[in-house]
Amino acid sequence: MRLAIASDHAAFALKSALMPWLQAQGHEVDDLGTHGPDSVDYPDFGHALGMAVASGAAARGIALCGSGIGISIAANRIAGCRCARVDDPLSAALARQHNDANAIALGARLIGEEMARACITAFLNTDFEGGRHSARVAKLDAQPPKREEA
């Protein structure tokens, strides 16, 4: 599977550890940065990951920052990217089964390398369930409703 992976400086070490593991499993991995531990802005890397997934350049995405929160928000600003911030294999599997997530975000300061691997494995090996979830996911991808004036 072709994957995109991106991180900020807080998750650079985790990204560096995960990439060879993903490649050893036969995945093609596009490293969207950052490429070092110097301070950077996570929105830039979340945007790049969201674009890669939404455009189809990557089948799935893995976003990493200190908490996983900021980069997931940035990725989700791109229409067509459904990035779920997860902490454990169950939340990663449910993100795929029920929400057809095409990207996950992990917090490098919150989980270790082994838990990150377990989350990614669940995410990559779980299929979207479809059925009753399909209409809900379609609403996620639809244009948001207009806000009424207060």
Contact 120, 22 (CB under 8 A): yes
CA distances from 105 to 8, 11, 101, 130, 149 (A): 12, 11, 10, 22, 34
C-alpha span between 26 and 128 (Å, rounded)? 22
Q: What is the CA radius of gyration of the chain?
A: 15
| Residues annotated catalytic, as ranges | 65, 98
